[in-house]
Amino acid sequence: MLGVGQLALALTLLLRLASAAADEAGWKVGRGTFYGIGKWSIHSGACGFGCISEDQPAGWDVVALSDQFPGFAGSCGRCYEIRCNPATVKDGYGASFDRTHACIDPSTSLLVRVADACPCSYPNNWYSNKRWCCGDVDHMDISVWAFEKLADKKWGVIGIQYRPVPCNKLPDNPAPPISNPTPGQYWRNKQPDFMQTGDLSTPKASNARTYLYR
């Protein structure tokens, strides 16, 4: 029977092997939280897309990228394939969270589209998020409707694997919808959806968050 130290070593080796396999397949390792409940609407993101239609690519499966994320500039409208990664994750203050058993099914994945940004830490920006978005780990703030296909909301934060893909790319093993999803966000007065919002190279401002996507 393996001792505690041997078990810890074995788990560490398994996680390293998983990370190596992910890299070989073009996957990168990151971290994910969720948003889209209450005042944190997916329809008022920094990309300025306005009302996001469910029938557009990825629908409400959208993300806000950390502004320290690799390739952040020009990321509005970009798509990624993401999946839950059973791992221990840390926040920007060094606290650890065991999420090795949080994934519903780490073999499934889903398509997400960038609709917002998660700013690091700026004195004049109320939306700053030093805990998650300052670049200690590649971080995505995932819409709650996407997150709950990967893990239960109770976990709050999970490890993820991600890779950039075309927005018409369907996952080989898509994460299925859950039986009781979070109630949706619908706008009473429908705004133009993000496919008709014009030039994404110009600055967009929403809720005091302004970025230039090049």
> Residue 31 carries which side chain, given as an amino acid letter?
R
Residues 6+ apart with CB under 8 A from 8: none
Which is more confidently placed, 147 or 195?
147
| Mean pLDDT of the residues in the chain | 81
| Chain segment 38-50, per-residue pLDDT in tens | 777 888 888 988 8
* 174 DSSP assignment: B
Mean pLDDT of 18-35: 78
| Chain segment 67-77, per-residue pLDDT in tens | 999 989 999 99
Q: Token pair of 213, please?
A: 């996507």
pLDDT range class, residue 33, cuts 50, 70, 90: very high
31 has pLDDT over 80: yes
pLDDT range class, residue 15, cuts 50, 70, 90: low
Q: Token pair of 176, please?
A: 């299925």
Mean pLDDT of 105-131: 91
Residues 6+ apart with CB under 8 A from 97: 88, 89, 90, 91, 156, 157
| Chain segment 149-183, per-residue pLDDT in tens | 999 999 999 999 999 999 999 999 999 999 988 88
Distance of CA 123 to the CA centre of its chain: 24
Contact 48, 191 (CB under 8 A): no
Mean pLDDT of 193-206: 38
Q: How far is CA 210 from CA 3, 133, 158, in A?
A: 53, 16, 27
SS3 label, residue 28? strand
Contact 138, 63 (CB under 8 A): no
**Per-residue confidence (pLDDT) for residue 127, from 0 to 100:** 77
For 24, what's the count of Cα atoms within 13 Å in the CB-facing half-sphere? 6
pLDDT range class, residue 198, cuts 50, 70, 90: very low
**Per-residue confidence (pLDDT) for residue 7, from 0 to 100:** 57
